[in-house]
């Protein structure tokens, strides 16, 4: 059962979960911010409306010519209370009431204005059909009387008719606002309530624009967070994959190294014995067996070369580093193959004077092994002559790259992909550990190796080193 279980796809699940989380967070934050924005804007409008109506009430009270009678405008609006009960003149009372009601009727952007008594009786309304009716079950009126402060709320036009008293003079086009403004007497008691239904177009336009901007900002910020998280997890997933591959490769190399060491040590002594016996037999001088004995010596030498490569492959790479002059190291490596280069008729394109005189972080013997391995591969790719190019260039401020190119047979895309796999080789008689060792050594130097090759067009090996600090 476990063998058929699919591996956990971190990238896919994180993408799904992060999309849900960031999307949910964006929606929640958008809802909270938009609700806060709308409610605060409506409260601000309600406060201004309340101040406006209360200011009108105060002005009308001052102009009412009520003499020394201590009354409030809210306390004289109820038509069920007579002038005699209030101890004021009928004419002054009627004029004060009418002027206040006219102000309410002419309020800009008002859909309906109604004045209620505390018991729900309609004292006055812009819609004359409501005057004299009673709405004792109006919960908003009861709340205003209890709190002694105004309340407000926004509604869509589809909610028109939700209350019996919503008999507008003009039908709203979109959103409308309902305000309840309490009018208090001298003792602070609610004696009348003004209900205003408004359709403030400028405010509604601002609400819509702010609503849109808030949701747009929430969605864009959510998308930005999601993309950042997605980018981070992609990088993390790639790094984890690379580390897992590196762990697998290291385990493989350790196992191969241990096996190679055991095989090499097991073969070394028998091979030496076979070669010695073949050389002794050659000294006897039997012509009939000389060719076979020479073949034995040749094959033993080839096996011995393999044994040495296996021992190098299995041996830990030294951690020691030193500053090495790269131009001198290349000169020494090329001089090692001078005879082979001359015999194969290979032209060498190398100008030491043009190379930057820099020192790189390396280890002398290991650097020699790297250069010998790369040069050996290049020369073996050109058995009938060609051109060997060696170039040193400073690619970055603290990096230098050595490019060794040949005009040999090159490699296919598949061969290039397998080039750094242990024991994979395209050379007859090769073991397939040379480039693997080159890669391991270059990584130990803090550098890198890159292959660029095309079939029948040659190969270029780029070795990048860290420049040693100049003291």
Mean pLDDT of 161-171: 73
Q: How many residues does the chain have?
A: 471
Per-position DSSP letters for 118-143, written without gaps between them: TTSBEEEESSGGGTT-B-TT-HHHHH
Mean pLDDT of the chain: 81
Per-residue confidence (pLDDT) for residue 460, from 0 to 100: 92
Domain end call among 147, 178, 212? 212
Average pLDDT over residues 357-375: 85
Question: What is the pLDDT at residue 1?
Answer: 44
- 41 and 176 within one domain: yes
Look at residue 169 in the predicted model and tell me its pLDDT: 72
| 327 in the same domain as 190 | no
Instruction: Read off the pLDDT of each residue in 272-277 and give the average, rounded to a whole number.
Output: 78
Burial of residue 249 (CB within 10 Å: 0-12, 13-18, 19+) is: middle
Q: Are residues 321 and 200 in the same domain?
A: no
Residue 49 lies in a domain: yes
Residue 385: which domain range? 317-466
Task: State the Cα–Cα distance between residues 310 and 315, nearest whole angstrom.
Answer: 9
Domain boundary among 154, 180, 212: 212
pLDDT digits (tens, 9 = 90+) for 124-153: 998 988 999 998 888 888 898 888 888 887
At residue 471 the predicted structure's pLDDT band, cuts being 50, 70 and 90, is very low
Shared-domain flag, residues 83 and 207: yes
Alpha carbon separation from 317 to 249, 314, 452 (Å, rounded): 16, 9, 26
Q: What is the pLDDT of residue 230?
A: 83
Structurally, the chain folds into a number of domains equal to 2
CATH of the domain at 84: 3.30.450.20
386: closest CA among 357, 352, 339, 344? 344
Mean pLDDT, residues 347-369 taken together: 84
Give the model's confidence band at 405: pLDDT under 50 very low, under 70 low, under 90 confident, else very high. Answer: very high
**For residue range 86-124, what is the model confidence (pLDDT) as tens digits?**
788 888 888 888 888 898 888 888 888 999 999 999 999
What pLDDT does residue 358 have?
84
Give yes or no for residue 212 having a pLDDT over 80.
yes
CATH value at residue 347: 3.30.565.10
Span 168-188, pLDDT tens digits: 777 788 788 888 999 988 888
Residues 6+ apart with CB under 8 A from 43: 152
Residue 258: pLDDT above 70?
A: no
Backbone torsions φ then ψ of 182, nearest 5 degrees: -80, 140
Q: What's the DSSP call for residue 381? A: T
């Amino acid at each position: 059962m476990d063998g058929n279980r699919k591996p956990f796809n971190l990238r896919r699940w994180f993408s799904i979960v992060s999309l849900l989380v960031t999307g949910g967070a964006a929606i929640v934050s958008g809802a909270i911010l938009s609700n806060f924005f709308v409610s605060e804007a409506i409260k601000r409008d309600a406060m201004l409306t309340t101040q406006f109506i209360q200011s009108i009430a105060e002005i009308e009270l001052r102009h009412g010519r009520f003499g020394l009678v201590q009354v409030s405008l809210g306390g004289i609006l109820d038509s069920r209370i007579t002038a005699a009960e209030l101890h004021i003149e009928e004419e002054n009372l009627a004029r004060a009431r009418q002027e206040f009601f006219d102000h309410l009727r002419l309020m800009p952007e008002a859909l309906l204005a109604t004045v209620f008594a505390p018991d729900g009786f309609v004292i006055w309304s812009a819609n004359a059909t409501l005057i004299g009716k009673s709405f004792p079950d109006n919960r908003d009126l009861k709340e205003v009387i209890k709190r002694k402060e105004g309340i407000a709320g926004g509604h869509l036009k589809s909610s028109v008719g939700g209350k019996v008293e919503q008999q507008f003079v003009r039908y709203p086009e979109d959103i409308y606002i309902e305000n309840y403004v309490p009018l208090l007497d001298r003792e602070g008691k609610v004696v009348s309530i003004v209900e205003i239904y408004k359709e403030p177009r400028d405010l509604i336009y601002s609400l819509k624009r702010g609503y849109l901007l808030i949701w747009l900002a929430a969605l864009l910020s959510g998308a930005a967070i999601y993309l950042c998280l997605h980018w981070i997890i992609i990088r993390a997933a790639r790094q984890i994959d690379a580390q897992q591959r590196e762990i697998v490769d290291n385990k493989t190399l350790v196992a191969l190294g241990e096996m190679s060491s055991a095989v090499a040590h097991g073969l070394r002594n028998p091979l030496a014995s076979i070669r010695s016996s073949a050389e002794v037999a050659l000294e006897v001088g039997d012509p009939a067996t000389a060719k076979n004995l020479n073949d034995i010596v040749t094959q033993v030498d080839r096996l011995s070369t393999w044994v040495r490569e296996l021992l190098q492959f299995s041996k830990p790479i030294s951690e020691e580093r030193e500053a090495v002059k790269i131009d001198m190291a290349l000169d020494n490596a090329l001089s090692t193959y001078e005879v082979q280069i001359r015999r194969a008729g290979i032209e060498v394109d190398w100008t030491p004077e043009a190379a930057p005189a820099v020192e790189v972080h390396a280890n002398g013997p290991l650097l020699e092994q790297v250069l010998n391995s790369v040069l050996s591969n290049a020369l073996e790719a050109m058995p009938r002559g060609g051109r060997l190019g060696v170039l040193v260039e400073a690619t970055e401020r603290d990096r230098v790259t050595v490019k060794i190119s040949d005009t040999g047979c090159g490699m296919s895309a598949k061969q290039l992909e397998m080039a750094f796999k242990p024991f994979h080789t395209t050379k007859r008689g090769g073991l397939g550990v040379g480039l693997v060792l080159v890669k391991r050594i270059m990584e130990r130097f803090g550098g890198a190796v890159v292959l660029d090759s095309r079939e029948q067009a040659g190969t270029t090996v780029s070795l990048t080193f860290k420049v040693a600090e100049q003291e």
